[in-house]
Amino acid sequence: MVTNLPAEARAKWLKYLDARTTEEKIKALEEFLSAVPKHKGTENLVAWARKKLSELREELEESKKRRGGGPSFFVEKHGAAQVVLLGYTLSGKSSIFNALTNAKSKVTGIPYTTMFPVPGMMVYEDVQIQLVDTPPFAPEGVKVSWRGRLLGLARNADALLLVLDVTRDSEEQLRSMVKDLEGLGILLRKPRGRVQIERSKAYSGIRLVKMGKIVDGTEDDVRKLLESYRIYNALVKIYGEVSLDDVEKSLFEAVVYKPSVALLNKIDLISQEELDKLTNRIREQFPDIPLIPVSATTRQGLELVPKAVFNSLDLIRVYTKEPNSREPSKEPLVIPKGSTVEDALKVIREEFIKYFKYARIWGPSAKYPGEKVGLDHVLADGDIIEIRTQIRGI
Ligand SMILES: Nc1nc2c(ncn2[C@@H]2O[C@H](COP(=O)(O)OP(=O)(O)O)[C@@H](O)[C@H]2O)c(=O)[nH]1
Ligand SMILES: [Mg+2]
């Protein structure tokens, strides 16, 4: 990363961060680029800024075209999580979507049949997960007008389902999608650490919240770094192991991690031997991305998908039980792995926290059935929880 940017470039950068509309962002980024000296040390930054600029220009052009109205790319979230399908044209996204959900998306065999996102529900045991079928992902360099909006959809999703076509170079399809997305700050592999910077006048000074550590510097170094960008008020959250470089990078691009599952589709069209070789090669290259061989046509392998997706999301199911009632709720409360009793209460009914006496737990996280626990007890998938409060009726 850079660090040696002249003050002028840093000030321009701040202007970009503050820009609200696409037009303002384009203008600020152009000014930033002209203020950055071009040399080896700024190579990556310049490449990133140019790429971002071309995305923004595409976005602007597209939104001008769309002023007349038409369907939107935004898909409201429903169910426990939103999972977006991504893959090149004709890889079988719509066929898989139709096989896994109650919804219908058009399949014609003609490239670019799906022009807008289509939502549907996939069921895993007693959990509903929203799947979103999408227009094709295009390799870098191939211009498709929806690219920016498709990436926006991916950035906003809880997880991604990558669809690879076994009859074309599926290994290369995965490699190029991962590279393309990671280049834009959408990581498909869990990073060792992550930085989140919230700038606000409301914070006086630069405050650090560490849920991890800075491996090559002190808190003071972070402060100095931000001040060199003329950022004087911010909340800096550090998760896991991060370097000063990561802190600086996070000023340029909000990096997000999206759990992903890859589906190797159309396995009805190749031999078992070919398939084994291919899956081994892909798994070796991407050990962090679960790979499931499937066929939308014969439905082979599809039964494994809901569970794999649910597991990738790092969620747990908790069932609530009224005191004195035998049966827990049918519908689970679906919350992030690592959630405590207090986290669950925030979702169930916040007031419970104020009047909380204790909770009883049955299931995987209980030492014995009906164990009494406090607010900080960590829950597990399949737990049944009963809340006792100080006031009856609350
Ligand atoms: N043999 C075979 N063909 C498939 C499979 N999945 C999809 N197809 C075909 O591939 C073509 C593209 O499928 P579609 O779902 O529209 O792909 P999309 O462009 O990624 O949405 C269609 O002609 C499908 O019938 C599969 O598992 N096996
Ligand atoms: Mg389609």
104-118 pLDDT tens trace: 999 988 888 888 899
- Which numbered atom of ligand 1 lies nearest the CA of 294? 27
* 73 Cα: distance to centroid of ligand 1 (angstroms): 23
Question: Looking at the predicted structure, is the pLDDT value of residue 377 above 90?
Answer: yes
What's the mean pLDDT in 2-18? 82
Residue 394's pLDDT band (cuts 50, 70, 90): low
Question: Looking at the predicted structure, is the pLDDT value of residue 1 above 60?
Answer: no
State pLDDT tens for residues 342-376. Answer: 999 999 888 889 999 999 999 999 999 999 999 99
Q: Which CATH architecture has domain 315-389?
A: Roll (3.10)
Token pair for residue 240? 């896991």
- Alpha-carbon distance 252 to 36, whole Å? 14
What's the mean pLDDT in 309-331? 92
State pLDDT tens for residues 258-305. Answer: 999 999 999 999 999 999 999 999 999 999 999 999 999 999 999 999
**Would the pTM of this model clear 0.85, i.e. be above it?**
no
Q: Which residues contact 274 (CB under 8 A, 6 or more apart)?
A: none
Question: Looking at the predicted structure, is the pLDDT value of residue 153 above 70?
Answer: yes
Residue 245's pLDDT band (cuts 50, 70, 90): confident
Secondary structure percentages of the chain, helix, strand, coil, to 5: 35, 25, 40
* 19 Cα: distance to centroid of ligand 2 (angstroms): 35
* 89 Cα: distance to centroid of ligand 1 (angstroms): 9
Token pair for residue 53? 């600029």
CB 28 within 8 A of CB 19: yes
- In this structure, the chain runs to a length of 394
Q: Is 295 in the pocket of ligand 1 (CB under 6 A)?
A: yes
Q: Dihedral through CA 54, CA 59, CA 64, CA 68, nearest 10?
A: 150
Give Dmax over CA atoms of the chain in angstroms.
71
Query: Would you call 90 helix, strand, or coil by DSSP?
Result: coil
What is the pLDDT of the chain when averaged over all its residues? 90
According to the model, what pLDDT value does residue 375 have? Answer: 96
- Residue 361 β-bridge partners: 371, 385
Question: Looking at the predicted structure, is the pLDDT value of residue 70 above 60?
Answer: no
Ligand with smallest separation from the Cα of 267: 1
Neighbours of ion ligand 2 (CB under 5 A): 93-94, 114
Residue 11's pLDDT band (cuts 50, 70, 90): confident
Token pair for residue 26? 């384009």
Homologous superfamily (CATH) for 82-138+147-189+257-312: P-loop containing nucleotide triphosphate hydrolases (3.40.50.300)
Tell which wins on pLDDT, 36 or 252.
36
The DSSP annotation for 289-322 comes to S-EEE--TTT-TTGGGHHHHHHHHTTEEEEEE--
Query: Would you call 288 helix, strand, or coil by DSSP?
Result: coil
The DSSP code for 2 is -
Tell which wins on pLDDT, 210 or 131.
131
Q: Which CATH architecture has domain 1-70?
A: Up-down Bundle (1.20)
- Alpha-carbon distance 170 to 141, whole Å? 19
Residue 35's pLDDT band (cuts 50, 70, 90): very high
CB 289 within 8 A of CB 260: yes
What's the mean pLDDT in 73-85? 92
Q: Is 69 in the pocket of ligand 1 (CB under 6 A)?
A: no
According to the model, what pLDDT value does residue 69 have? Answer: 57
Q: Is 297 in the pocket of ligand 1 (CB under 6 A)?
A: yes
The DSSP code for 102 is S
Q: Is 52 in the pocket of ligand 1 (CB under 6 A)?
A: no
- Chain centroid to CA 233: 27
CB 176 within 8 A of CB 160: no
Domain ranges, ordered by start, for the chain: 1-70, 82-138+147-189+257-312, 192-252, 315-389
- Residue 207 β-bridge partners: 235
